[in-house]
Amino acid sequence: MNPLLHQAAMSAFHNPDAQIREGVLQALELLEQVPQHLERWQSSLVQNQSLAQCLQIDPEQIAESRWLATKLCDDGDFLLALPLAMYCASYASDHPEHSFLAGACLQRLGQPALALHFYRVALQLNEADPASAYRLGECLEAVGQLEEASHLYNWAIELARGDFALRALQDRASERLAQLVTALRP
């Protein structure tokens, strides 16, 4: 088991909130089953079915896990949110918000190299999402891929252009891009 997921299991086991404890422990159990499910349902997955569809998991269960993960993130508890977000991203992989949420947890836990994967998936599923482009740019910058990061910041700026609600994101992306351009100059 991944060390972060192991830490999350220990934290969940001792959590006094039964909903959090049970939700996180169930998500961890289901994450351990992913390799067997991938092998068993490979032909269905190739036909663009999610694991949740193959296993007939109630969409409400996924929604509850996403809700709880989001609540934990809002409370700043990214470690406990991680298994829930990864469960959603693994079993309902056709929803970009699940991959974004898992990426956000990993990024906040100081794991930009791991978060990259989830932000890339979120952006592949929704190429018009400036938040995914920006966060992917941040992670690329953190792992030293400055040229690629600058492209993602540019993309985030373009996607956010004209949407006043995204002005702060556009400003942050512009600031990061300016810093990168300065750093990349010979």
- Say if residue 28 is in the same domain as residue 90: yes
Q: How many domains does one find in the chain?
A: 2
Residue 125 in this model has a pLDDT that exceeds 90: yes
Q: Quick one: 99 and 40 in the same domain? A: yes
Same-domain status, 44 and 77: yes
Same domain, 7 and 43: yes
Q: Are residues 87 and 132 in the same domain?
A: no
120 occurs within a structural domain = no
Q: From the CB of residue 113, how many other CB atoms can be counted at a distance below 10 Å?
A: 11
Which class for 142: exposed (0-12), middle (13-18), buried (19 or more C-beta within 10 A)? Answer: middle
pLDDT in tens, 68-122: 999 999 999 999 999 999 999 999 999 999 999 999 999 999 999 999 999 999 9
The domain of 9 spans: 1-112
Which of 115, 116, 130, 55 lies closest to 82 in space, CA to CA? 115
Domain-ending residue, one of 112, 135, 166: 112
Residues 100 and 24 in one domain: yes
Q: How confident is the model at residue 128 (pLDDT cuts 50, 70, 90)?
A: very high
Q: pLDDT per residue over 31-64, tens digit each?
A: 999 999 888 888 877 778 888 888 889 999 999 9
CB 110 within 8 A of CB 129: no
User: Residue 41 corresponds to which tokens in the numbers above?
Assistant: 């349902």
Q: In the prediction, which pLDDT does 90 show?
A: 94
Mean pLDDT within 148-157: 97
Looking at every residue in the chain, the average pLDDT score rounds to 95
Kindly tell me the burial class for residue 183, based on how many C-beta atoms sit within 10 Å of its own C-beta (0-12, 13-18, 19 or more): exposed
Percent of the chain's residues with pLDDT above 90 = 84
Closest C-alpha to 122, from 113, 134, 108? 134
pTM for this model (two decimals) = 0.93
